[in-house]
């Protein structure tokens, strides 16, 4: 199901970084040291925004990527 809050996401298993682009702000955040199983659960979740809020947000360190506000 397309998300109304998350535009896209990507995961790098070698660095365990989950990149998430948000619809409203256009910003990209990188969530650090995310285990593969946590990414797989996020990827397969029916409601991406709800899953993100319940299982990723406030559980992993993150950083705003440079130049991410340009959409």
Q: What is the pLDDT along the chain (71 residues), one digit of tens a residue?
A: 567 899 999 999 999 999 999 998 999 999 999 999 999 999 999 999 999 999 999 999 999 997 665 44
Query: Does an H or E element contain 50, and which?
Result: helix 48-55
Confirm whether 47 is domain-assigned: yes
* Beta sheet of 28-31, edge-to-edge order: 6-12, 17-22, 28-31, 62-64
Strand partners, 20: 9, 29
Q: Helix or strand or coil: residue 49?
A: helix
Identify the residue whose tokens are 């619809």.
23
Domain that holds residue 25: 6-65
Q: How far apart are the first and last CA of the chain?
A: 22
The answer as to whether 71 is a domain residue is no
- The answer to the question of residue 37 being in a domain is yes
């Amino acid at each position: 199901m397309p998300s109304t809050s998350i535009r896209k996401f990507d995961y790098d298993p070698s660095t365990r970084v989950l990149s998430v682009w948000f619809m409203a702000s256009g910003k990209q955040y990188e969530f650090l040291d995310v285990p593969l199983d946590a990414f797989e659960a996020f990827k397969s979740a029916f409601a991406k925004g709800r899953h993100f809020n319940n299982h990723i947000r406030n559980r992993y360190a993150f950083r705003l990527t440079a130049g991410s506000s340009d959409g």
